[in-house]
Each structure stands twice: as C-alpha cells, then as structure tokens.
Amino acid sequence: MQITQQRYYTPEEYLELEEAAEYKSEYIDGEIIPMAGGTINHNRIAGNFYAVLNFAFRQQEYEVFNSDMRLWIPKRHFYTYPDVTVIAGEPQCFNNRKDIILNPQVIVEVLSQSTKGYDREDKFQAYRTISTFQEYLLIDQTRIHVEQFSKTGKKQWTLREYDEEDEAIALVTVPFEISLQDIYNKVNFEVVESEGESVDVEGLG
C-alpha cells in the first residue's frame, strides 16, 4: 500500500506561496490550510464592525485592520487572518514586513458553520499566547448572538453573551461601544449560503 506523505513547509516557503496564491491560507506549524470562503453575511458583519471601529478611532491612538492583514503567532508557528484586529499604538511588524503584525489587543472573528468550533477552541488558545491580546469577540452570522471574552488576569478570562438587537457591546480594553443593530446591519438570516468546503484544522495544539 502506498502511503501519501504529508508535506511540511517552512514559514518562508508559506509566505512565498501566499504572495502568489489566489485564495488565502493559514499556516499552522508547517501545514498550509486553505481558509473557507466567506459568505455575504460574513462580509457584511465583518465590514460593519470594521467600519464603525475605524471611524470611532480616527483621532485616537488605536488602529483597526481587516482580514487583509496577516497575524503571526510565534509560540504556535501560526499565520492567520483575523476578520478584525485592533492594535493599541503603533503596529509591531514581523521582520519589518508591513503585511504581518504581532501585537493585537482585540480580535473579532465572524463564525462560520465550518470553523466555529475551531475559532472558539484551538484558535482562541493560539491567540492567548500573544502577550498583548486582551479581548476576543465571536459573532454568529446565522443569528443574533455575540460572545465577548475579556482578560481579567493571568490565565483568567470572563465571558459575556449578547443576543438582543437592542443591546450594545462595550469593549473592556478599548474605549468603544457598538450596538448589535449596527453589527447586523443588512444581514439577512433567511438566506442560506454556501461557505465552500470545510477546513481541516486538526493538529493545532
């Protein structure tokens, strides 16, 4: 029986391939994993959150990035693209590359059917190895529901959930508030959309 050998890549090989790739992929400790395609609702939610944040911070010492910005997590040898990232002060760039950041304070992920378990568990564990990371929001795209995790101490996080359209979320670690109505603006929950193939994310410790 012929055994197919898993190909492992160096971070440098991944970055070179990613420059020429048509679609984004994550890099997890040697493996390159294609990211699931985004739906209309996913893009609406991420875009809504980014737009309101970006406007709110236009004269403050915070910077907001969308999913075009790559994040490097050194302790997990992990490259990924968060949906929305907030940085306090100046971005710290990896190896002076302007497309790779190291110092997120707040990360927002829009959940999809294929990756919601990954975002809640393995990805959250990886994010928690970043010293600057203090707050995590998980936004459901199939219903009104947001989970807000905020760091309260070493290895200590609190969770608050939101599921009413008239509620507002106040971030704990940065001066910002947004209503669920603004987050879900123009989102149509009746539309069933295909996300593409599911992502195999086994193996991330």
The pLDDT of 160-174, averaged and rounded, is: 96
pLDDT tens-digit map of 29-81? 999 999 877 899 999 999 999 999 999 999 899 999 999 999 999 999 999 99
- Any idea what DSSP says for residue 61? S
Residue 30 lies in a domain: no
Q: Containing domain of residue 47, as a range?
A: 38-183
> Band of the pLDDT at 168, cuts 50, 70, 90?
very high
> Does residue 24 have a pLDDT over 50?
yes
* DSSP assignment of 137-197: EEEESSSS-EEEEEEEETTEEEEEEE--TT-EEE-SSSS-EEEHHHHTTT--TT------S
Residue 9 lies in a domain: no
Q: Which segment of 25-34, 134-143, 194-203 scores lowest on mean pLDDT?
A: 194-203
The model's pTM is 0.89
* Cα 77 to Cα 9: distance, rounded to the nearest angstrom: 11
Residue 17 lies in a domain: no
| Tally of domains within the chain | 1
Residue 60 lies in a domain: yes
Residue 2 lies in a domain: no
- Least Cα distance to 47 among 90, 108, 127 occurs for 108
pLDDT at 5: 56
State the amino acid at position 131 in one-letter form: S
Residue 13 lies in a domain: no
| Residue in the structure block whose two tokens are 């123009």 | 186
> Band of the pLDDT at 90, cuts 50, 70, 90?
very high
Residue 1 lies in a domain: no
| CATH code at position 69 | 3.90.1570.10
> Average pLDDT, whole number, for the chain?
90
